[in-house]
Amino acid sequence: MRAGSFAREGACICVADLYLDKAEDAASDIAAGGGRAIGVQLDVQRSNGWANAVAETEQAFGPVSILCNNAGADFRVSFDEQTEEMWNLVLGTILTGSFLGTKP
Ligand SMILES: NC(=O)c1ccc[n+]([C@@H]2O[C@H](COP(=O)([O-])OP(=O)(O)OC[C@H]3O[C@@H](n4cnc5c(N)ncnc54)[C@H](O)[C@@H]3O)[C@@H](O)[C@H]2O)c1
């Protein structure tokens, strides 16, 4: 788990995921190992979601200094089977998500 690697180096972690239960499970694992972490729900394709995630993180730990922007969508189907909807979701998650997360 990448978040765990940061925690082992002493970082306080905000685990953000589309699925809150996954984010909270990862945060719990970090806490169980002695680290400090919160889990928040975030759809990386939504700019207001980023604002909320950053606000929750700053409230818990102070200013954000590292971003690991690695949300991904991958349907693992052949090119012929890939629909336009799948294509847009992959690009939206990886490209738009990275754009919005990196933007001040
Ligand atoms: N695992 C690999 O070997 C590998 C290799 C090269 C590149 N990558 C890329 O690295 C990224 C992460 O890969 P991974 O193996 O950790 O994938 P993963 O599927 O294990 O994790 C991706 C996470 O992103 C979350 N997510 C999906 N859509 C989201 C959204 N809109 N907002 C917030 N969270 C969302 C998922 O819930 C999941 O927890 C992907 O972009 C993937 O294509 C992975």
pTM of the model: 0.92
Q: What are the tens digits of pLDDT across the range 45-90? A: 999 999 999 999 999 999 999 999 999 998 999 999 999 999 999 9
The answer, yes or no, to whether any atom of ligand 1 lies below 6 A from the CB of 42, is yes
Whole-angstrom distance, CA of residue 76 vs CA of residue 34: 36
| Structural domain total, the chain | 1
Which residue, by CA, sits nearest to atom 32 of ligand 1? 43
> What range does the domain containing 9 cover?
3-102
CATH number at residue 26: 3.40.50.720
The answer, yes or no, to whether any atom of ligand 1 lies below 6 A from the CB of 76, is no
The answer, yes or no, to whether any atom of ligand 1 lies below 6 A from the CB of 74, is yes
When pLDDT is cut at 50, 70 and 90, the band that residue 1 belongs to is low
Contact predicate 45/98, CB 8 Å: no
Contact predicate 45/73, CB 8 Å: no
Q: How far apart are the CA of 93 and the centre of ligand 1, in A?
A: 9
